[in-house]
């Protein structure tokens, strides 16, 4: 239960870290630079294991489509351009929530992978997840929306934990992995395309 508690608190710690650092002028660029590095690393964390196991180039290609399709839509229509990033953020958040559900299942006592290395990896990568979510949503939609988005990750984890290990087989599959790859690509698009405009200082 202690392990689960650490994983649940980690995204909130990330959002709090954003507040601490972003209130200091000297740290603003460091935070922004960290996000530009953290998001691709988080994408690799979620997608590479599946791509390696399946020996498939499809997940990287799907990530690329997630980056390119919003860009194409923005260039095709000014009306679409104003909404594309919001839609991409929503997609990206849905991917993080799905991933959190699966991690919650992995925390159940019957899981084969539960152990200190797994717990440490999950907890540490969730701190930048919380920071990135706040970084993306707060400037666009305010603190309440950002807080709700951050909280959705531990809530999803708790739901996965309650559902138990039997639930895992129903969720795992190629379709889910490829969906996460696509939304990961859309998240990269938002960070590197619109993120710079929302975080000028």
d(CA 184, CA 109): 29
CB atoms within 10 A of CB 111: 15
> pLDDT confidence of 9, banded at 50, 70, 90?
very high
Write out pLDDT tens, residues 113-136. 566 777 787 888 888 889 989 988
CB contact set of 90 (below 8 Å; sequence gap of 6+): none
pLDDT value of position 20: 84
Maximum average pLDDT range among 57-61, 131-135, 163-167: 131-135
Write out pLDDT tens, residues 48-57. 776 677 777 7
Lowest mean pLDDT among 45-49, 96-100, 105-109, 188-192: 45-49
Number of H helices, E strands in the chain: 9, 0
CB atoms within 10 A of CB 45: 17
């Amino acid at each position: 239960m202690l392990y689960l508690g650490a994983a649940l608190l980690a995204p909130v710690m990330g959002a709090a870290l954003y507040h601490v650092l972003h209130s200091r002028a000297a740290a603003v660029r460091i935070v922004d630079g960290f996000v530009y590095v953290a998001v691709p690393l988080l994408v690799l964390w979620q997608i590479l294991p599946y791509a390696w196991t399946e020996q498939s180039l499809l997940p990287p290609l799907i990530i690329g489509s997630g980056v390119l399709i919003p860009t194409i839509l923005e260039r095709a229509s000014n009306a679409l351009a104003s909404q594309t990033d919001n839609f991409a953020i929503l997609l990206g958040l849905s991917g993080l929530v799905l991933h959190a559900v699966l991690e919650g299942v992995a925390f159940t006592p019957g899981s084969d992978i539960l152990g200190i290395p797994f717990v440490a990896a999950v907890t540490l990568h969730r701190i930048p997840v919380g920071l990135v979510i706040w970084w993306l949503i707060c400037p666009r939609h305010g603190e309440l929306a950002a807080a709700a988005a951050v909280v959705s990750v531990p809530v999803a984890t708790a739901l996965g934990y309650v559902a138990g290990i039997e639930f895992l087989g129903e969720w795992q599959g190629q379709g889910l992995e490829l969906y996460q790859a696509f939304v990961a690509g859309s998240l990269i698009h938002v960070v590197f395309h619109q993120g710079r405009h929302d975080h000028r200082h």
